[in-house]
Structures are given as structure tokens and as C-alpha cells.
Amino acid sequence: LAAWLRYAPLPGAEHRASLPSHIVALNSTTSSPVYIAGQELEKGIEGIFGKQCKVHHGHYGAAGSVVVGTLDEYTKAYGNLTGAPDLTEDGFWLSTKGSTVQILGQNERGALYGAFEYLSMLAQGNLTQVAYASNPSAPIRWTNEWNNLDGSIERGFAGNSIFFADGVIVSNLTRAAEYARLLASIRINAVVVNNVNANASLLTPQNIDGLGRIADAMRPYGVQVGISLLFSSPSSAVQGQTNLTTFDPLDESVIAWWTNVTEQIYERVPDMAGYLVKANSEGQPGPITYNRTLSQGANLFAKALQPYGGIVMFRAFVYNQLNESDWRADRANAAVDFFQPLDGEFDANVVIQIKYGPIDFQVREPTSPLFADIPKSNTAIELQISPEYLGQNCHFVYLPPLWKTVLDFDLRADNTTSLVKDIISGRRFNRSLGGSAGVVNVGTNDTWLGSHLAMSNLYAYGRLAWNPSDDPTMMLQDWVRLTFGLDSSVIDTITQMSLESWPAYENYSGNLGIQTLIDILYTHFGPNPQSQDGNGWGQWTRADGETIGMDRTMSNGTGFSGQYPSEVASMFENIATTPDNLLLWFHHVNYTHVLKSGATVIQDFYDQHFAGADTAQTFVSMWESLQGKIDEERWNDQLFRQVFQAGHSIVWRDAITNFYHNLSGIPDEANRVGNH
Ligand code: GCW
């Protein structure tokens, strides 16, 4: 449950001398993040060093103490800070130089973030003298939890909801508060608690009160609550609300309905973060149902939220089923087709929430071109911590290297440097809002995500939302030290496994940009290459006896490459400049096509699937080598998963290599595939 906030004893108590002897938390209201910061410091210093520090509130002698509070509170208590730092919203100043440790937030939440930063240093045995300000890259640092009101979780792999059961909010919200604590330590500032495939009964008076209880439980940690809405709620017979016969976003009664419900919510949750909306997507109702535009739908909520400072996260994941017999049909085109014409029409408090790739959380996708194509709109990136297509935490995949391929991608809008991370921060197109949404789907399982190692993904998600330039290896190693201690063989082994994990999974599940060749129709788990084609979902491979891949060129294909700004468009348009790892995403080629690596497509398929499965075998012995170096319980739990993954990677390898061997009839040069 404690995840990376264990405050495990640090060997070598000789460090103690340099530790503060008391804590001053400049706020005595027990529900304030500054108060919580004081408690957290007390607990942490005691856990790590066995030293008891008393917490004082209000003005108290600063010498020899840790002072935590807002910059304003500090100034009031102790006078101006020399060299006062430049802090933006949620930012903090941390100084361990001099006789006082200063942890000062731009706001209360920032002060708590600073306390967690200091404790993270201490827990890692880092007692160096530092003094710096840290500010977030972007204001929106949210998680999405696809929790249904009955307590189940869509694409969750760690048990039931910590928020809902039997249609209502659970009475015991201890886990919600514990989750908020974890999230505060990685500087996440809001959680959307229910599934994007939303249920209107979230809006009954009883459930609005329940949301209030969740918000009360999370508020001391600086975490706000947001909710997903069902677009057709006004006509869904919500108990306790008026029942209309329409949900047309331009209808006066519908506008009044949402205004009223929004008012009820803010009465109970004055700091509600906002609404997340999945409209006209995968069977969900939306404005298009009434021939209205997606922007008219988004602005309906924007106007209701505006007086309260709330935000609408409007999802770009809108697409229709398509007919594969049409060579030019392409689901990847959908988001830009829908949203680009609407750029400039969204209200200022609307943020377009864009999945990192144009299809759906695949093992590798090109960056969504939509980030570059709506410069007059606020944008946020949607990442998936819950590894729906990536092994569902029965396989181990450390995701930040994948995310970085998108965050660091240069879309070259107007032939100018246009990194995705600078677009979502608002800097590139001068937007005031933007950021990240991570689909986490924690559950009641003690590990939160269903596997201990998977928690590195949540930890790193928060770090990247704050600073997308953080290095995946450094973040990971901080996490390992906090989670498993300072033993260098533990750090080295988990680092190696983590960094090899995404390439391995890509190699055995679908390389060369073909997508995760998973069962896309039902489970999203395990190999099923034939399920990609012959249906309307548009995750096609177009594989036949001789050829494979989607032709997404402008010259002869779906035209998707043309959705990128010109420099990137011409890179992907041209087979010679398309990287091998996205070849089959953009081009339809013969199995005998020769890659930049020198191998043919089919031979590379064979080779990489064997290589990926081979790597997965080594994870077992690597993990076994840690026996005795971490506690038995977590060691056993993860070993079970690594053994499963090793076996299942062979299932993947054989299913896919045999499938393409049968289809193409081309033998494996190394003679590993087929009957022999
Ligand atoms: O990939 C699909 C998932 C759905 C999910 C949808 C979405 C919540 O399989 O389970 O629905 O994406 O992101 O809306």
C-alpha cells in the first residue's frame, strides 16, 4: 500500500547529526496540505532515521528546523526571504542550506510537493545541500480512473474500485485518501474518478454528496476531483433530477439542466476540477446525435463550468467504424478530420485530450498529428498507465521510453521546433491551459496496479507530467531506491529489466509499426493477429500472401501522412525516410521488402519475435538473482509474474511467427518457424 512512500530505515544513522530537530508547519488547520506536510515530515524523518521531531504550528524559532508552508505564510512569520524564488502555480522552493530547511510553496499544494521532494531525498540517503525552485511544466496533471459505479473497472487489472460499489460511492474512503497521498507525492493535482463511458446516475443527489466525500478525503493532499459525464444525462431519467426528452446541446432546457446540475455539484464540491467528456465515440451519445458540432457540445459544459473555474477535458478519441474494402479508409485520420475544422471554436476552458497516437495505446504509434493541427485550442496528452494492450500487468513493460518518443517528438509546425511536450504545456502555441491525463485504473489490490513493478509507471507518469524532460532512467532509479532500497544490484537489475521491457514486448507482440497483434475484439490480451482485419475497427494490417502494412501515404494510400506538418509529412510519405519501427504503419510492402537494417520484413518478424521472447526468459533469472535482497513477499509476487511472462512471450512468438509463415509461405532462414 505504501508503494514508494515507505520511509524505510536508512542504514548508517551517523547522518542524523545534520537533521533538523523540529518541524514548523505554518498552518494549523488539520485538513490543509501544509498541515499534512508537517505530519508527513514527522513520519518520514522518524521512519528513515528513527528520529522524533515535534511539529509546531504558526511562528516558531526557525533555526534547526524544517519550515514548511506557503511563501506568503513564511513571509508573514519570518519576514522576506532573501533571494525569493520565482514560483508559478503549484511550484515550490526547497533549500537545505543554512540552519533552516525551507520548503515553501506558491500555494499549499506546492508546499506539500516540496515536503515530499525533501523526504524523497532523505529516503534515498541524499543529504546534499540544495537550494532550488521547481515549477510545473503544465497546470493539468490529472489521472483518469475508468471506474464504473457498480465497482468494476474498465481495463483495470487490480481488483475493484476504491471509489464505487453497487451504484454509489463507498462509505469507507480510506483508500481514496491513501491514493491522494501517493498522487500528491508525484504532483498530480486532480483525479477523474469515474469511467469515460459514464453513467448518468452519477448525478443523483446521493452520488453528488458521495463525490463531495471523495473530494473531502483527497483535498488535504491537494488533489481535486473531476468527473466524466454521459452526454445524454438530461434525458436519462436521473433520480432526483428533471427528466427531459432531449439532450440537444443547443436546447435551452438542456443548457438549464447542466447549469443546474453543475451548480449542485459546486455547492457540495466547491473546488471540483472539471468534466471529462467522451462524446460520439464508440457508441457514446454526443452533439453529433443532433447534428451539432463537437465544439458546441464541449462549450455547453464549458459555459456551465466557467463561473466556478472548472475545465472541460474533451476527448479527441472520436472515430467511426469503417469498411476495409475501401483502400483509403483510415481510422487514424479520424481525430484530425473531426477536430481540425473546429480549431478556434472551443471556449477558453476547454482542453482537447488527445491519446498519444492516432489509434489506441498501441505498443508503438507515431505521434498523433492532432497536437500540431489545432494551435488555437488547448491540448493535453492522454497516456495509459494501465497497460491495456501491453500485457495487463501480467507482462512487465516500463512505459516512459514509449511516452518519450511522443513527448519529445518534433512535429515541425510552421517549420519550427514544435515538441509535443511544449505544445501540451501551452508554450509552443501560447495557450494558457494544457497538460497530461493518465489512465491509471488503480484498484483495491494492495499493490494498487496488480504488480509491484508496474508502479514505476505511475511514479514516472507524475514526474513527466511535472517535467516532461526528466530522464526515464533517473526517474526509475529514484523509484527503485524508494521502493526497494539502496542495494546497487537491485537498482542495476531492475533498471536493466525495465529498459529492456518495452523493446522486448514490442518485439514479440508486433514490430515494424504493425501495432500490437493482440486480440482486439474481446480481451486485448494475448496474440490474435487475424483479429486485426476483416472488421470495422480499423486496426488493420492488410496482410495477405505477399504483402503487409497500411498504405497511409498521400500518393497512394489513406493520406494520413498528410495530416502532419510538411516536414514530418514528407518524412513519413517516403519509404526511404520512414524509420523501420514505423514502416508498416505507413507503407504497404512485400514481405521480401528489405529494411534499413538489411533484413527482409518477414525475416525481421521472425528474428524479432524470437529475440523478444528470449529477452523475456532472461527476466526470470534476473529477478531470481534478487532473492534475499528484497522482501520475500514482493519477490515472490513478481517472480510469479515474470515466469508467466516468460511462458506467454513464447506463446506470442509462436502464434505470430506461425501465422505469417503460413500466410506468406516464406521459410525462416534460421529454420525455427513451422513444421520441420
Ligand atoms: O481502447 C478503448 C478501450 C475501451 C476504452 C476506450 C476509450 C473506456 O478498449 O475500453 O473505453 O478505448 O479510451 O474510450
d(Cα 662, Cα 654) in Å, to the nearest integer?
A: 12
pLDDT of residue 58: 79
- Return the residue whose CA atom lies nearest to atom 2 of ligand 1: 360
Cα dist. 540→536, 543, 572, 575 in Å? 9, 8, 18, 19
pLDDT, averaged across the chain: 97
Ligand 1 centroid, distance to 258 Cα (angstroms): 25
Look at residue 163 and tell me whether its pLDDT is greater than 80: yes
Ligand 1 centroid, distance to 32 Cα (angstroms): 36
Ligand 1 centroid, distance to 317 Cα (angstroms): 9
Ligand 1 centroid, distance to 276 Cα (angstroms): 14
With a pLDDT cut of 90, the percent of the chain lying above it is 95
pLDDT of residue 85: 85
Q: Which amino acid is at 136?
A: P
Residue pair 193/214 in contact (Cβ under 8 Å)? The answer is yes
Neighbours of 328 (CB within 10 A): 13
For the chain, give the number of residues.
676
pLDDT of residue 17: 63
Residue pair 140/382 in contact (Cβ under 8 Å)? The answer is no
Mean pLDDT value of segment 228-246: 98
The residue assigned the cell 473555474 is 309
pLDDT in tens, 424-448: 999 999 999 999 999 999 999 999 9
Cα dist. 607→316, 508, 525, 661 in Å? 36, 10, 22, 12
Cα dist. 144→100, 129, 155 in Å? 38, 37, 12
d(Cα 215, Cα 200) in Å, to the nearest integer?
A: 19
- Return the residue whose CA atom lies nearest to atom 3 of ligand 1: 155
pLDDT in tens, 116-148: 999 999 999 999 999 999 999 999 999 999 999
Which atom of ligand 1 approaches the CA of 155 most closely? 10
Ligand 1 centroid, distance to 627 Cα (angstroms): 38
Mean pLDDT value of segment 522-533: 96
pLDDT in tens, 28-42: 999 999 999 999 999
pLDDT band at 675 (very low <50, low <70, confident <90, very high): low
Which atom of ligand 1 approaches the CA of 315 most closely? 14
- Return the residue whose CA atom lies nearest to atom 11 of ligand 1: 197
Residues 108, 360, 607, 668: which is the catalytic one? 360
Mean pLDDT value of segment 547-551: 98
Dihedral (CA of 111, 117, 121, 124) sign: positive
Ligand 1 centroid, distance to 241 Cα (angstroms): 28
pLDDT of residue 62: 80
- Give how far the C-alpha of residue 638 lies from the chain's centroid of Cα atoms, to the nearest Å: 22
Look at residue 16 and tell me whether its pLDDT is greater than 80: no
Residue pair 539/331 in contact (Cβ under 8 Å)? The answer is yes
494 CB-near residues (< 8 Å, 6+ apart): 453, 476, 480, 484, 626
Known catalytic residue at 360: yes
Q: Which alpha helices (H) appear in 157-312, and where do they start and end?
A: 174-185, 205-218, 252-268, 294-305
> Phi first, then psi: what are they for 527, rounded to 5°?
-70, 140
Ligand 1 centroid, distance to 175 Cα (angstroms): 25
Look at residue 676 and tell me whether its pLDDT is greater than 60: no
Counting ligand 1 atoms within 8 A of each CB, the residue from 154, 196, 282 with the most, and so the one to mutate, is 282
pLDDT band at 14 (very low <50, low <70, confident <90, very high): low
How does DSSP assign 429-449, residue by residue? TT-S-EEEEEE----SSTTSS
pLDDT band at 11 (very low <50, low <70, confident <90, very high): confident
> Phi first, then psi: what are they for 140, rounded to 5°?
-95, 110
With a pLDDT cut of 70, the percent of the chain lying above it is 99
Residues 388, 478, 551, 668: which is the catalytic one? 388
The full set of domains in the chain, from first to last, is: 13-134 (3.30.379.10), 140-484 (3.20.20.80), 508-550+588-664 (3.90.1330.10)
Known catalytic residue at 388: yes
The whole-model pTM stands at 0.98
Counting ligand 1 atoms within 8 A of each CB, the residue from 143, 153, 194, 197 with the most, and so the one to mutate, is 197
Known catalytic residue at 544: no
pLDDT of residue 13: 61
Residue 291 in grid coordinates: 447534428
> Phi first, then psi: what are they for 164, rounded to 5°?
-125, 150
pLDDT of residue 522: 92
Residues 263, 282, 544, 631: which is the catalytic one? 282
pLDDT in tens, 635-657: 999 999 999 999 999 999 999 99
Pocket residues: Cβ below 6 A from ligand 1: 146, 154-155, 196-197, 278, 282, 317, 360
Q: Write out the E strands in 145-235.
A: 164-165, 168-169, 190-192, 224-229
Query: Long-range pairs for 418-423 at CB < 8 Å and ≥24 separation?
Result: 418/372, 418/565, 420/367, 420/371, 420/381, 421/137, 421/468, 421/469, 423/371, 423/372, 423/379
The residue assigned the cell 515535534 is 54
Q: Which amino acid is at 536?
A: G
pLDDT of residue 82: 81
Which atom of ligand 1 approaches the CA of 382 most closely? 13
